[in-house]
Structure 1
């Protein structure tokens, strides 16, 4: 049997990506699988796949989203601010930092979790380079090196390529977990992902 490929497509400003992150990593660790973290931008994914940004959705959808967020945060005993001060913001640089760290071949698990929690727990601004520098350091990485690489044209190209590849796979929202080519959309599909890994 070949090496298992588990990809975590996420939006850094997705509360669902935040809510699912710890469970994803626990499942992956238990199965001895490495997770490849690929950040995407809803502003790129939604127009290409028929989605709508939050402020364009019907009020009934928006209110139900809040109800579900409260339920899931209670279910997993995870803190979550329903209306964070800095949401939404332009998180292209933050996503580029994850790509930069990944391409520098350093572990990015901690960075992804730190950035997700920064929005939904700490209410920090992912568009602020100074905030990003602090968060990168908090994750144990070299902020100067990561930010420099994040602003390189090659990283911008990688983000575009990752987006094209995700759309080609059928990714339309976050989080989406792709196990050896099979998609699992949403943190509420993690139990199904766990079973799929157990069957391998």
Structure 2
């Protein structure tokens, strides 16, 4: 039996394009025999804190227009998370030194990787954050329920993280180093056999390349 091709997926909880890429991940998973190796990373706001000071002033307004438009095109519900996973001054866009939300989420992603359920976690938690059905995702049972839908237990995961946060941080750092070594810095990035495909709009190219390497449709 031929082995299923493996695609590395670099993904961030704060990236709207990462959320929108889930549409393609689901579609490919349903149609083709392949495996996803999810590698959760911190968003650029954490990895490159001066990013927002260096970017063109038109970048953020265009991002807001484009992501809303793309969500409509993909027929995906979409609203920016409340609260924002990144603590950031809305006027100056300065990034706070204190980042409880994104550290919590990204470490959960690392813990889910260790438990073999990273894809299910980013699907369920990412959807909960971005689909507009939840306000105050960090309050009540919203996060716990999303984690449970991924087949995991939030309390058990956070206990494990608290016992050894450094090992989860090392995994995240390795993911970020692997992304850089693959030839990119942004998310979502798909990597197949060392070749990077950056952005949800490069999935057609990824599929073309996978088919060149014998990607098979699912049957039955």
How far the C-alpha of 1:46 sits from its partner, in A, is 3.2
**Residue of structure 1 aligned with 2:81, choices 84, 88, 94:** 84
How far the C-alpha of 1:118 sits from its partner, in A, is 2.2
Partner of 2:93: none
Does 2:144 correspond to 1:146? no
Give yes or no for contact 1:46–1:173 (8 Å, CA) kept in 2. no
Q: 1 CA distance for matches of 2:155 and 2:67?
A: 35
Q: 1 CA distance for matches of 2:140 and 2:110?
A: 16
| Equivalent runs, 1:1-20 vs 2, <5 Å | 4-20=5-21
Give yes or no for contact 2:134–2:142 (8 Å, CA) kept in 1. no
Q: 2 CA distance for matches of 1:77 and 1:198?
A: 26
Partner of 1:108: 118
Task: Report which of the two has the higher share of helix.
Answer: 1
Q: TM-score, normalised by structure 1?
A: 0.84
Partner of 2:192: 179
Do the aligned partners of residues 170 and 52 (structure 1) sit closer, same or farther apart at CA in structure 2, a change above 3 Å counting?
A: same
Q: 1 CA distance for matches of 2:137 and 2:113?
A: 18
Q: TM-score, normalised by structure 2?
A: 0.77
Q: Please list the CA deviations of residues 30-81 of structure 1 after superposition, one character each: whole Å capped at 9, or x if unmatched.
A: 221110111101245436xxx824x763331111112211221111111111
- For structure 1, the 5+ residue unaligned runs are none
Structure (1 or 2) with the larger CA radius of gyration = 2
Partner of 1:27: 28
Give yes or no for contact 1:7–1:38 (8 Å, CA) kept in 2. yes
**Residue of structure 2 aligned with 1:166, choices 145, 156, 179:** 179
Q: 2 CA distance for matches of 1:99 and 1:6?
A: 17
Q: 2 CA distance for matches of 1:98 and 1:177?
A: 17
Count of residues paired in the alignment: 194
Deviates more, 1:133-142 or 1:61-70: 133-142
How far the C-alpha of 1:131 sits from its partner, in A, is 4.7
**Residue of structure 2 aligned with 1:75, choices 48, 54, 73:** 73
Give yes or no for contact 1:4–1:180 (8 Å, CA) kept in 2. no
Q: 2 CA distance for matches of 1:125 and 1:38?
A: 26
How far the C-alpha of 1:2 sits from its partner, in A, is 6.4
